Structures are given as C-alpha cells and as structure tokens.
Amino acid sequence: MGAGAELAPGAFDADFFDPGTIHMAVAGGGYVGATITEGGELNLAGAYDLSFLKSRGGPGAASAAIFAAAGFPVSDTMATAAWAGTPPLTRTAADVADDGVFLIGDAAGYVEPFTGEGMGWAVASARAAADPVEAFLKGDPTAEEQWRTAYQRRVGRRKGWCRAVAVATRAALNRAPILAGPLVRHLAG
C-alpha cells in the first residue's frame, strides 16, 4: 500500500533534509521517500507491506518506524499527520479483453512503481493492440483472443519477471536494509 503526507515547516528536522534531494528510508516493512517542497514542507511518500502497515496502526506510525530503523530523525507530528492512502501498488486485471474493450497500460494492471517499467509497458501494449483492434473493427470474432495472446507475449511476461524482481528485492532489503543506498543510487543514475 502507498500513502503520502506533508509536514509543516518547523515540524521536522530541517537540518537533516537537504533541499533538492530525495531522501529514501528503507527498512523491514517498506520504504519512505522524503523531500523538501518549494513551500518548505517535508513531503513524505511511502510504500508498505500491508501486514506491516496494519501492525503499526497506519501509515504515520509505519513511516515513523521506517525512519527510526533507517536512522532518520522522527518528527513527533509524523504519526498524526493527514496521510492520504493509495490502493495496493500492484494490480492485475482479470482479463485484458472483454466485450470489445482492449486494456492497455495501467488499465491492464501494474507492478510496484519503483521498477520504472510502467511507461514502457504502456507504449508496448498500445503498439501491440493495433492489429487486434483493427481485426475487431473488421468484425473478426477472434480479435479479443488475439489481443490476449499479443499482450501476454509483449507485456505479460515482462510483468511476471518484474514482479519476481520486486518480491526478491523487497525480501533482500528487509533482511539487509543497508543495501538500499547503493540500489537507490544506481536507480537514480
């Protein structure tokens, strides 16, 4: 699950958070990004394992626990901030084609966003949909099955691999959070 909040200026250790830098706190149960906004607030965005989130009683306390485990200063207002949640960060559509509707991009499902593959999958699925959609418009009764096959070939397998990498990465970071720094630096370029 994901959630975000902003802490007002003065409600956090501003000396710790460099403006213009995205700070990533990674620990067992999830990760929380933090950055100073143009208005001086501390913007927080986290992704949490659902069981961890429930065990902590919500995103504020979960984020505070992640900050503490990562050695970040924990604000007293973090647990009581106005957190806004998101649905689970991985979704799968039951079917990518039904009744003349061909799902592409995130509508067809998505994997946790840290993988960075979403835009590529959206473009690949849109390009791959052209022939099945044309077949559908010409009345071909196999068009939906053509799309299911094309989608699986062009995007579905990649999502499977990406999902496996996300699960393995999360498990590794839960066991050795110190690996998060090099991983984030590598992903950031």
Does position 79 have pLDDT exceeding 70, yes or no?
yes
DSSP letter (8 states) at residue 49: -
Encoded tokens for 157: 């397998």
Does position 180 have pLDDT exceeding 80, yes or no?
no
Taking only the tens place, the pLDDT of each residue in 99-132 is: 999 999 888 887 766 556 778 888 989 999 999 9
How far apart (Å, rounded) are the C-alpha atoms in residues 147 and 139?
14
In the prediction, which pLDDT does 71 show?
94
In the prediction, which pLDDT does 8 show?
95
Name the more confident of 89 and 12: 12
97: confidence class by pLDDT, cuts 50, 70, 90: very high
In the prediction, which pLDDT does 137 show?
96
185: confidence class by pLDDT, cuts 50, 70, 90: low
Does position 163 have pLDDT exceeding 80, yes or no?
no
DSSP letter (8 states) at residue 37: -
In the prediction, which pLDDT does 95 show?
94
Name the more confident of 106 and 143: 143
In the prediction, which pLDDT does 25 show?
94
How far apart (Å, rounded) are the C-alpha atoms in residues 103 and 125?
8
Encoded tokens for 111: 């994997």
Rounded to an integer, the average pLDDT of 60-88 is 91
